[in-house]
Structure 1
């Protein structure tokens, strides 16, 4: 697919992380559902249910295996590395899913769904997670482990890909697990058809200075440069599959664009209820009002376009007004029709003012009528960048955010520029040029699946 994007369009594309303000308006028409929660503890009810808190979603063409796509969702924010004796685990009462819309109707066409069960041999005899060094996933010294079933759900039916996978355990320390990398390797399962799957603990790959919540970095950009997430871990679910497995009609050449989001459905007296939804980053975390955060999580993407307030929230977002009030940076002129294109439909010349064909499902030759919806969109036809740029499309790296999201994409800095008006002016805002001065993760990413760094044992207080 040939792409022609000028600088103005490149800057405009960087706004995908902030147009998600529209979701707050959509949630306003829903009543909060008890038990709902969302990413990085920002929803009021999430503090009591972190196992179901989806922190980040990633979707990218695999850098070392360009014929495949890697889809990843992280859960359980702010895992303390030394958080024993009860270490971290997935919820056995929930269904964790990564969903793909490949025809543009905002409904899942392919779903990868994980469920979990516990094997706990501790009983009344010990408080220990392991009672000796653990050198393999089936080591008798590992007293607690989780197993999972992974299913692929599609119009062709439901197929079990993994029936008794083992979750990579929480890293309890070098004495207990002298070679954690070996344990991770053992936890990676090969899938029929050339894919891979992983479930287990990993380093927290999201990097940012969360003092953004102190009046946007202290009201004068004095509170920047601290990676607030350094030292924490998460629990990761990931699949790497051939592109044809998720492309419309199995043809990634004709139909290269997919939309991706993750959900958690938790068992309740009413059956399974959706309690978390996450697509583009920074949606609930930055732009959704506190009283509406729980309700947003129950909303499927297919509902977005049916709520008129969604469009109003996109075309007149709140965050630029806050930047004007705190920093004196004049808010961009509204209506923001460029944001409506990025947020609801993906980027295509036929969709709006941005004259580029990038990541809308309308670019799929076999797609039907497009239904606008918020999700993370990826054009799988764009190859991995030889030298990835943390600012993604904003810096001319078309394989980066908002064309999907890689582990190293600096979504916070991209969003800050967009919020300050770079999308409309075609120029970067000099006052925010340094961003939050957290330009990368505290640990390097790996060169092979699942790419996310190993968990650590450094206490966050000393990091």
Structure 2
């Protein structure tokens, strides 16, 4: 039975119970700047270091180039557009990475890494980011600029430089300073040999949800819903578009269409107050599927998860237990009286640790996005691990459904993640057993009534489908 016929196409899902869980997982303060959303401030240590905080990862087949895959990786949560005069640079002592595993051993087979450099011409002359209207990236009025080096490594081979001094789109200061900000973003989107396209700079935060959980969970009667907590905030984003052959096992996406993706950020082990660093580099942030570190990983392991590798996941019994016997359904049952599905939750093991496949012996009788489905994969080397998995050969959906696979739209989450996918609603329904029953939980169908991002995709969006910037 195909997953399209296995899973109900009924619309409707809810984020209500997830909001309650997120509230218990670490909402600090009453304002939105202290909220937790996807991977925004999800662990104690990373909350104090926003410049290297992975917020969200998206991966999807490119609608404009159907034999290319687009990765969108975001950092720095809750960028208030008026947050000058220093705004939101990428960290210059960090390395920002997109990792791809195509053979299922939970180790990266393709790594793309960015390193940033800042040129600040303000000196003692001014506090301003720019001292006049900025009409191009090389405008002398732009006093603070960032550039990057992009390097890539395939199959463990040495890294090769792909871009030197790549332009970063500046933070949007406002219409007087940047009368045509779309032009600046277009200039920061560059095409490389081999068909690659890359962009680094600011973008609207495309994650959407309502987090007003403090007032007796949305007013006690769902009257306090429908407000996008992240509306009006930006993030720093890296967008990369590469052909399938560069990430598929043996370069053959027809035989081996399934890949796993996660992002990481590295810092020097020792950072010196006032500038400088020493020692080797350590991983300080990690992100694959959305909301995993928030609602799956317990508080005492959140920092450790950010520092861990995917090949270590299956060796951690506490993490595995949180998947096979998750906390969220227990809380939903306690708060709302909806019975939690029976454990062990092997359906969630497929969604989060193996990918959806009949070869893992799970209850979801379909083959969709596990590397075990690749013809050239050795199953003896396969390692269950937390990754965002994507089947490159699922056709682009003409009219995407926000509930993704649960609504029969096989190109949506958890098969990769598009910017339009309502991942909170999807994950709550999956945690309540919708993926194995094929039925949406009607008792949670009211939802938070935030079903789409507040910003549309820009008509001149860099590297396709990159969202506009909040002003």
TM-score normalized with structure 1 length: 0.89
2:347 pairs, out of 338, 342, 352, with 338
Label 1:216 to 1:401 Cα distance change in 2 as closer, same or farther (>3 A). farther
Q: What is the CA-CA distance between 1:121 and the residue it aligns to?
A: 0.3
Structure 1 spans left out of the alignment, 5+ residues = 22-37, 458-463
1:429-444 → structure 2 map (5 Å cutoff): 429-444=441-456
Matched, 1:421 2:426: no
Report how many aligned residue pairs link the two structures: 434
1:53-68 → structure 2 map (5 Å cutoff): 53-68=53-68
Q: 1:346, 1:423 → 2: CA distance?
A: 13
- SS of 1:443's partner is coil
Residue equivalent to 2:147: 147
Contact persistence 1:445–1:451 (CA under 8 A)? yes
Q: 2:375, 2:269 → 1: CA distance?
A: 41
Q: What is the CA-CA distance between 1:216 and the residue it aligns to?
A: 5.3
- SS of 1:230's partner is coil
Q: 1:451, 1:372 → 2: CA distance?
A: 31
Q: What is the CA-CA distance between 1:95 and the residue it aligns to?
A: 0.4
TM-score normalized with structure 2 length: 0.88
Q: 2:435, 2:247 → 1: CA distance?
A: 31
Residue equivalent to 1:205: 206
Contact persistence 2:248–2:258 (CA under 8 A)? yes
Structure 2 spans left out of the alignment, 5+ residues = 22-37, 271-278
Q: 2:219, 2:252 → 1: CA distance?
A: 49
Deviations 1:128-181 (A, max 9, x none): 000000000000000001010000111243111111101100000001001011
Deviations 1:15-41 (A, max 9, x none): 9xx9xx9xxxxxxxxxxxxxxxx9311
Q: What is the CA-CA distance between 1:289 and the residue it aligns to?
A: 2.9
Deviations 1:190-226 (A, max 9, x none): 1111110110001011011123576654555443211
Q: What is the CA-CA distance between 1:49 and the residue it aligns to?
A: 0.8
Q: What is the CA-CA distance between 1:241 and the residue it aligns to?
A: 0.6
Q: 1:84, 1:411 → 2: CA distance?
A: 32
- SS of 2:117's partner is strand
Label 1:380 to 1:413 Cα distance change in 2 as closer, same or farther (>3 A). same
Deviates most, 426-435 or 209-218: 209-218
Contact persistence 2:3–2:408 (CA under 8 A)? no
Alignment RMSD (CA, Å):
2.1
Contact persistence 2:296–2:322 (CA under 8 A)? no
Q: 1:223, 1:258 → 2: CA distance?
A: 40
2:320 pairs, out of 307, 311, 321, with 311
Q: 2:46, 2:224 → 1: CA distance?
A: 26
Matched, 1:370 2:382: yes
Deviations 1:407-430 (A, max 9, x none): 000001111222333234332111
Residue equivalent to 1:189: 190
Label 1:298 to 1:193 Cα distance change in 2 as closer, same or farther (>3 A). same
Contact persistence 1:39–1:54 (CA under 8 A)? yes
Label 1:150 to 1:76 Cα distance change in 2 as closer, same or farther (>3 A). same
Residue equivalent to 1:173: 174
Q: 2:107, 2:4 → 1: CA distance?
A: 29
